[in-house]
């Protein structure tokens, strides 16, 4: 395992990949959205239940690489009970981190547990994997589309 | 003409009569390089092949010594360039054992060759209610051009099924040939599974019904000796870059009787005999299908690649690759949780696989850390991925310069993937 791969595949990521959280369909979801990466065939469905502007429940199902799957899993654990605004702000911080230069400092306070994805900075091609579920989430919150793609 | 002679003599310096892989590898500069501090193990040959020094030299020498446009100048350089370009066509004809040099059309690659046939022969002959027959294991480039043509004409694209081992269901194929079938387009070797189709038999079936056949030879040419006359195909297409030549050059072979009757694909310079504002007369074959300045250097580079392959010997290549395939299959079977997709009885050296624990992209990423290059994805064959109910596979595709030691390195790296992700 190369050094940069070790940085990419943090234990937390591998663990969420093995046992994804909130990994199920939701019968009574208010919103449901598909996220595709047509280049690799990855495909997730995200389910949301909103209480006003609070994310009351969130789950996902589908298949994809370890980065995409663990990112979706961790996202669901972080957003339950958060407001739409808080979710959007967290995504902005997350996106800023994964698209930064590899040696840029990480604002751990802003990204929290999502800091485990900082290894993605060394592999620009994997940014799409890490952000697929987040893009789906934002689209679902805005209620604009029924599906999003990375392309 | 010194330059042309030198260009046509691009033979490997180290190859001897025994199959000396170590010596052959020295002919490929990129195989001497490292990735992440580890020797490059290049196992993505179905995507593109590496180039021997003889090809690199032919390209450099062409631009340094012979560069001029073809079929134009009445000066020595242009004549030399034209001769070298024609010599390349000659080499291609001999390589695939076509009858006539004018049956060899230079294209940008397999994709362009298929589009050319779809947009000329296809548009001319396919009408509403007609059918085009392909198989479930085609590359997107042998699906979409036909799909678009069928939509335009109100024709129907039919797809012959494959079995769970990744072999074409030949009986179903035969049943799907009907009075409405106007063309068959079939791959010789599956890029995603490695399955080798019995194209000669398929062509016989189609011809019995008077249906012409296009063979997608992109994945066959690097592995098998090709004889288009023996196969009896009407069209045969392949890409230079998959057969150790440069990118940007490819070949369409067509039977002269068919090519003669087909309208031009693109129009412009070089493909004309005379142009007046009221009437243009098209040039003869093969020029009718080569509008504009061709990829002269690419054709010459492909010619050098063919010289190289002839020297190595396609039969010896096939024998070595058969050993590699068997060894690689055993290596993959020895790793927990690995499943090979495509277990056809007749296979080229392609190992497509999935792992229980890890997604193909994670496998590809982990292997890259070890300097091992494989492809992870849908291999431009999404219908095939759906057929096997996987979003993607990892694929190690082997060339004659690969070794059992490299397959050992692959096995070791995959064991590590199993440990990390399992």
Model confidence pLDDT, tens digit, residues A23-48: 999 999 999 999 988 777 788 999 99
What is the ipTM, given to two decimal places?
A: 0.89
Query: In angstroms, rounded to a whole number, what is the distance separating the alpha carbons of residues B271 and B249?
Result: 18
Q: Are residues B324 and B279 in the same domain?
A: no
Residue B64 inside a domain? The answer is no
Q: Are residues B352 and B289 in the same domain?
A: no
- Residue B187 contacts by C-beta under 8 Å, 6 or more apart in sequence? B135, B137, B138, B139, B142, B197, B215, B216, B218, B219
Closest partner residue to B365 (CB to CB) among A8, A39, A41 is A8
What CATH number does the domain containing B385 carry?
A: 3.90.1150.10
Query: In angstroms, rounded to a whole number, what is the distance separating the alpha carbons of residues B75 and B85?
Result: 16
Q: Do B369 and A14 touch (CB under 8 A)?
A: no
Residue B57 inside a domain? The answer is no
pTM of the entire structure? 0.93
Neighbours of A145 (CB within 10 A): 12
Closest partner residue to A43 (CB to CB) among B370, B391, B421 is B391
Closest partner residue to B369 (CB to CB) among A1, A18, A69 is A1
Q: Are residues B403 and B287 in the same domain?
A: no
A144 pLDDT tier (thresholds 50, 70, 90): low
| Contacting residues of A for B382, CB less than 8 Å apart | 41
Residue B83 inside a domain? The answer is yes
What pLDDT shows up at residue B310? 98
Q: Are residues B334 and B306 in the same domain?
A: no
Q: Are residues B334 and B294 in the same domain?
A: no
Residue B65 inside a domain? The answer is no
Q: Count Cβ atoms within 10 A of the Cβ of residue A72 and give its class: 0-12 exposed, 13-18 middle, 19 or more buried.
A: buried
Q: Are residues B123 and B166 in the same domain?
A: yes
Instruction: Mutate one of B37, B357, B391 to test the A interface: name it (highest A CB count within 10 A).
Output: B391
Do residues B40 and B34 make contact, with C-beta atoms less than 8 angstroms apart?
yes
Enumerate the β-bridge partners of residue B145: none
Do residues A42 and A36 make contact, with C-beta atoms less than 8 angstroms apart?
yes
Q: Which residue of A has its CA nearest to B35?
A: A2
Q: Are strands B338-341 and B350-355 parallel, antiparallel or unpaired?
A: antiparallel
For chain A, list residues whose CB is within 8 angstroms of any CB belonging to chain B.
1-2, 4-5, 8-9, 14, 17-18, 39-43, 63-67, 69, 123, 126, 129
Exposure string of A29-38, with b = 16+ CB inside 10 Å and e = fewer, is bebebbbbbe
Query: In angstroms, rounded to a whole number, what is the distance separating the alpha carbons of residues B176 and A100?
Result: 55
Q: Do B36 and A123 touch (CB under 8 A)?
A: no
**Level-2 CATH architecture, domain A3-144:** Alpha-Beta Complex (3.90)
Q: Do B421 and A17 touch (CB under 8 A)?
A: yes
Q: Which residue of B has its CA nearest to A37?
A: B391
Q: Do A65 and B361 touch (CB under 8 A)?
A: yes
- Residue B158 contacts by C-beta under 8 Å, 6 or more apart in sequence? B131, B132, B133, B134, B176, B181
Q: Are residues B81 and B223 in the same domain?
A: yes
Closest CA to B145 of B117, B105, B171: B117
Q: What are phi and psi of A63, to 5 degrees?
A: -140, 150
| Contacting residues of A for B359, CB less than 8 Å apart | 42, 63-66, 69
Residue B318 inside a domain? The answer is yes
What pLDDT shows up at residue B2? 38
Residue B297 inside a domain? The answer is yes
| Contacting residues of B for A66, CB less than 8 Å apart | 358-359, 362, 421
A145 pLDDT tier (thresholds 50, 70, 90): low
Do residues B72 and B292 make contact, with C-beta atoms less than 8 angstroms apart?
no
Residue B421, min C-alpha distance to chain A (Å): 6
What CATH number does the domain containing B303 carry?
A: 3.40.640.10
Closest partner residue to B359 (CB to CB) among A2, A14, A65 is A65
Query: In angstroms, rounded to a whole number, what is the distance separating the alpha carbons of residues B199 and B214?
Result: 10
Q: Is B420 touching A (CB cutoff 8 A)? A: yes
Q: Are residues B298 and B335 in the same domain?
A: no
| Contacting residues of A for B392, CB less than 8 Å apart | 40-41
Domain ranges of chain A: 3-144
Query: In angstroms, rounded to a whole number, what is the distance separating the alpha carbons of residues B163 and B387?
Result: 10
Tell me how many domains chain B contains: 2
Residue B352 inside a domain? The answer is yes
Q: Do A64 and B362 touch (CB under 8 A)?
A: no
Residue B187 inside a domain? The answer is yes
Q: Is the pLDDT of residue A21 over 60?
A: yes
Q: Are residues B262 and B407 in the same domain?
A: no
A and B: number of Cβ contacts within 8 A? 57
Q: Do B392 and A40 touch (CB under 8 A)?
A: yes
Q: Which residues constitute the domain of residue B339?
A: 38-42+313-421
Q: Are residues B410 and B391 in the same domain?
A: yes
Q: Is B361 touching A (CB cutoff 8 A)? A: yes
Instruction: Mutate one of A1, A17, A41, A43 to test the B interface: name it (highest B CB count within 10 A).
Output: A41
Instruction: Mutate one of B35, B36, B356, B361 to test the A interface: name it (highest A CB count within 10 A).
Output: B361
| Contacting residues of A for B36, CB less than 8 Å apart | 2, 4
Q: Are residues B270 and B405 in the same domain?
A: no
Q: Which residue of A has its CA nearest to B415?
A: A1
- Tell me which of B277, B310, B343 is where a domain ends: B310
Residue B380: active-site member: yes
Query: In angstroms, rounded to a whole number, what is the distance separating the alpha carbons of residues B208 and B350?
Result: 32
Q: Are residues B250 and B295 in the same domain?
A: yes
Where chain B has pLDDT below 50, the residues are: 1-10, 13-16
């Amino acid at each position: 395992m190369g050094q940069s791969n070790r940085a990419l595949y943090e234990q937390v990521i591998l663990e969420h990949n093995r046992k994804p959280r909130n990994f199920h369909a939701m019968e009574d979801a208010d919103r449901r959205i598909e996220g595709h990466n047509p280049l690799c065939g990855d495909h997730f469905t995200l389910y949301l239940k909103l209480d006003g502007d609070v994310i009351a429940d969130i789950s996902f199902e589908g298949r994809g690489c370890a980065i995409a799957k663990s990112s979706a899993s961790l996202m669901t654990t972080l957003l339950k009970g958060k407001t739409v605004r808080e979710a959007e702000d967290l995504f902005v911080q997350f996106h800023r981190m994964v698209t930064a230069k590899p040696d840029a400092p990480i604002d751990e306070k802003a990204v929290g547990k999502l800091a485990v994805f900082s290894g993605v900075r060394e592999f620009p091609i994997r940014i799409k994997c890490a952000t697929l579920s987040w893009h789906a989430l934002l689209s679902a919150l805005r209620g604009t589309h029924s599906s999003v793609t990375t392309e | 003409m010194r330059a042309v002679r030198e260009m046509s003599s691009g033979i490997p310096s180290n190859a001897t009569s025994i199959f000396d892989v170590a010596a052959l590898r020295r002919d490929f500069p990129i195989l001497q390089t490292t990735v992440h501090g580890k020797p490059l193990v290049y196992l993505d040959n179905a995507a593109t092949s590496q180039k021997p020094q003889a090809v690199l030299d032919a390209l450099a020498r062409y631009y340094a010594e012979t560069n001029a446009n073809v079929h134009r100048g009445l000066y020595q350089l242009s004549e030399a360039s034209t001769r070298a370009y024609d010599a390349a066509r000659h080499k291609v004809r001999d390589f695939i054992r076509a009858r006539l040099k004018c049956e060899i059309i230079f294209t940008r690659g397999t994709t362009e060759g298929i589009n050319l046939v779809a947009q000329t022969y296809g548009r001319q002959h396919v009408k509403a209610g007609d059918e085009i027959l392909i198989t479930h294991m085609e590359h997107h480039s042998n699906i979409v051009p036909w799909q678009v043509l069928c939509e335009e004409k109100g024709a129907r694209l039919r797809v012959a099924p494959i079995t769970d081992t990744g072999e074409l269901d030949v009986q179903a194929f035969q049943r799907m040939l009907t009075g409405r079938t106007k063309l068959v387009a079939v791959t010789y070797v599956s890029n995603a599974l490695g399955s080798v189709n019995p194209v000669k038999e398929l062509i016989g079936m189609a011809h019995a019904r008077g249906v012409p056949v296009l063979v997608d030879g992109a994945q066959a040419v690097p592995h098998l000796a090709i004889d288009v006359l023996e196969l009896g195909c009407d069209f045969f297409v392949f890409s230079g870059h998959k057969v150790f030549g440069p990118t940007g050059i490819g070949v369409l072979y067509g039977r002269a009787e068919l090519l003669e009757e087909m309208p031009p694909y693109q129009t412009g310079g070089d493909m004309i005999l005379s142009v007046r504002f009221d009437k243009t007369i098209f040039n003869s074959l093969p020029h009718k299908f080569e509008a504009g300045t061709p990829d002269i250097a690419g054709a010459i580079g492909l010619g050098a690649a063919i010289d190289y392959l002839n020297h190595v010997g396609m039969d010896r290549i096939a024998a070595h690759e058969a050993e590699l395939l068997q060894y690689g299959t055993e290596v993959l079977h020895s790793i927990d949780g690995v499943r090979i997709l495509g277990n056809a009885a007749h296979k080229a050296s392609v190992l497509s696989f999935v792992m229980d624990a890890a997604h193909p992209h994670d496998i590809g990423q982990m292997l890259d850390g070890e300097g091992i290059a494989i492809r992870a994805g849908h291999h431009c064959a999404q219908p095939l991925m759906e057929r096997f109910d996987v979003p993607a596979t990892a694929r190690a595709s082997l060339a004659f310069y690969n070794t059992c030691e490299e397959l050992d390195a692959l096995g070791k790296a995959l064991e590590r993937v199993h440990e990390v992700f399992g």
